[in-house]
A and B are shown apart, each in its own frame.
Chain A
């Protein structure tokens, strides 16, 4: 088994060697708008220049997400999306590109419920989380997943879960927010592998006109305490945002704007829209030719 988070490190190193700006990690909601289309959208994103992936597991109660992702989750769930849909998307990414780092992202409850016919009533709080995550960790590793982000699993509650994932070679990816205290940043720094996900703003997911003004200060607060690579998400939607944050961090994550692009593309044209959008935000195609 390779070292935890090795694919992230290699991808960041290669990108820095090429000097072609930050990596762009598209966030794709598994099963949006249908489970059948997801593999095509993954391949299209890779053609467009995706430097990594976040594959999102839709959830009925996404309390950190804005309206674009709420709607996408509802559509995906109604179309029959499950964690299997997300794992299949990860597998497709892995098969298409053996080096691309792949992250599974979601809320805790579906992850806990995966593969367990009888929910845990373990009396020990750690076991109550760790045991149910074992089937997910195993299947995710088989699908080629490098990291898992759990939106509602803060560092305080994460030790048992991190261990289960690490046993299968998967890094638990931590989030930090502008509100995170030094103590919390240090706790994450001590445990992080792969990369640390910086939530650029105090708010829910969704495209914004500008990168949060205090983002640079936030990055420097975190950089002082860790060498783990940083990726930024929430509110990043345009090439200019990517260039702006690219001066500070090696990767940018784009979610809602991509989801909106998929939502507004007509049947049969979604893969092309994803590819085009990725080309623009990665700088392979100039903004002027974007329509």
Chain B
């Protein structure tokens, strides 16, 4: 009965309460069958095309590239997907899976609210009951998304435990799942959690990297030299990286350094250590007693003290690099992209922009950087306004 699949080297696995283990087996079985079912693929592809608007464009950031005076920057525009972020790719796929499993009720956690909105959207599309757990602090920070979820017919449950952010929303989702597992599918929003979630989410997000790879080859006849994406749990990053993994492309994941790595941050791979959280062995932020510590980022979507286990594996095997940028740098990145390209990115995405602006000037004009532009920034304008005002004081 020892697990032989679903582990990324020493990372991954199924560290879940016994009550959930049969549901995880059922999910794995349903996923395997769905993968082999042409009808499932066709239904999902049709939804992605006609409902989400895939494929999403690949945009040459000409003015930004020119201003930085180095590598050419290309943006994979997940901000233009329906609901404004890559999260919808995963939400739709998992809702189809839940239907196959005959589960009439869906629960989800959300940090920034993007995954909650995507899940509420997919559930509305199929008329499925949807409950979204969201930390009370995030409910406050992302009031607009809370309202959007309500409009879509979802019930948002504020979580009052712990730091009242994403980690606590996941704990509460798992508690709901433990209680209602027979009727409920837990629609995890990132490439985290027990197997098979990290694999399912990666596969459902891999359309990002597959499309970008092909689009760039069509436009400039070659692969990028560098691919950059922000990493909280890491779903958009693994979706961008995975189709490029066998190519000679530098893969860089950008974590949230918050107020700095010596202060409060959410840079799990850069400054954390191996541990077990939310059903998977991965890197976590923890104290010397193995208690999980609170993460901090200006971006609610990156505010998580764990990370997808495959990223831990890509770091250990040195296939990908993981760096971090601070709240301040992310704000600068957001401003710069807005001013040079007329694209306001999500604060999460702004971390990837900020790091790309650091390395682009050190590269040659014939080299290219591919950025996963994971989401749009409308939801963040209030936070950005307050943060910029605070900075000027």
Contact = CB atoms under 8 A, between A and B. Distances in A.
B16 interface: yes
Interface in A170-205: 174-181, 184, 187, 199, 202-204
Nearest to A157: B13
B263 interface: no
A41 B7 CA distance: 42
B15 A153 contact: yes
A67 B286 CA distance: 22
B284 A109 contact: yes
B220 interface: no
B241 to A, nearest CB: 21
A111 interface: yes
B277 A109 contact: yes
A125 interface: yes
Given A125-B13, A204-B175, A204-B179, A109 B1 contact: no
Nearest to B312: A121
A88 interface: no
A152 B15 contact: yes
Contacts of A107: 276
Contacts of A267: none
Contacts of A153: 15
B175 A154 contact: no
B167 interface: yes
A256 to B, nearest CB: 14
Contacts of B175: 63-66, 204
A181 B316 CA distance: 36
B291 interface: yes
B309 to A, nearest CB: 11
A180 B274 contact: no
A184 B170 CA distance: 26
A128 B9 CA distance: 10
B219 interface: no
Interface in A90-130: 107-114, 119-129
Q: Is the interface of A mostly helix, strand, loop or mixed?
A: loop
B15 A108 contact: yes
A121 B22 contact: no
Interface string B233-261: 00000000000000000000000000000
B10 A180 contact: no
Interface in B265-309: 273-279, 281, 284, 286, 288-293
B391 interface: no
A254 interface: no
Nearest to B4: A125
A98 B275 CA distance: 35
A159 interface: yes
Give the residue among B3, B14, B161, B175 with the most A Cβ atoms within 10 A.
B175
A109 B290 contact: yes
Most B Cβ at <10 Å: residue of A108, A126, A175, A187: A108
B289 A176 contact: no
Contact of B275 (A63, A113, A126, A181): A113
B181 A82 contact: no
Contacts of A121: 10, 274, 316
A181 B29 CA distance: 15
A15 B174 CA distance: 37
Contacts of B1: 155-156, 187
Nearest to A108: B276
Nearest to A114: B290
A184 B289 contact: no
Contacts of A82: 289
B275 A112 contact: yes
A176 B275 contact: no
Interface string B1-41: 11100010110011111111111010000000000000000
Contact of B286 (A113, A156, A187): A113
Interface string A47-67: 000000000000111111110
A83 interface: yes
B18 A175 contact: yes
B274 A156 contact: no
A125 B7 contact: yes
B162 interface: yes
A201 to B, nearest CB: 9
B182 interface: yes
Contacts of B3: 125, 156-157
Contacts of A159: 2
Contacts of A177: 17-19
Nearest to B281: A128
Contact of B15 (A119, A122, A154, A180): A154
A215 to B, nearest CB: 14
B179 A203 contact: yes
B292 A124 contact: no
B2 to A, nearest CB: 5
A175 B293 CA distance: 28
Interface string A19-35: 00000000000000000
A264 B2 CA distance: 44
Closest 4 pairs (CB-CB, A-B):
A113-B290, A110-B290, A128-B10, A177-B19
Interface of B: 1-3, 7, 9-10, 13-23, 25, 161-162, 167, 170-171, 174-175, 178-179, 181-182, 273-279, 281, 284, 286, 288-293, 316
28 contacts: A60-B291, A61-B277, A63-B17, A109-B275, A109-B277, A109-B291, A111-B290, A112-B290, A113-B275, A119-B273, A120-B10, A121-B274, A121-B316, A122-B10, A125-B3, A125-B10, A127-B10, A129-B281, A152-B15, A152-B279, A154-B14, A154-B15, A155-B1, A177-B18, A179-B22, A179-B182, A180-B18, A202-B19
Interface of A: 59-66, 70, 77, 82-83, 107-114, 119-129, 151-157, 159, 174-181, 184, 187, 199, 202-204
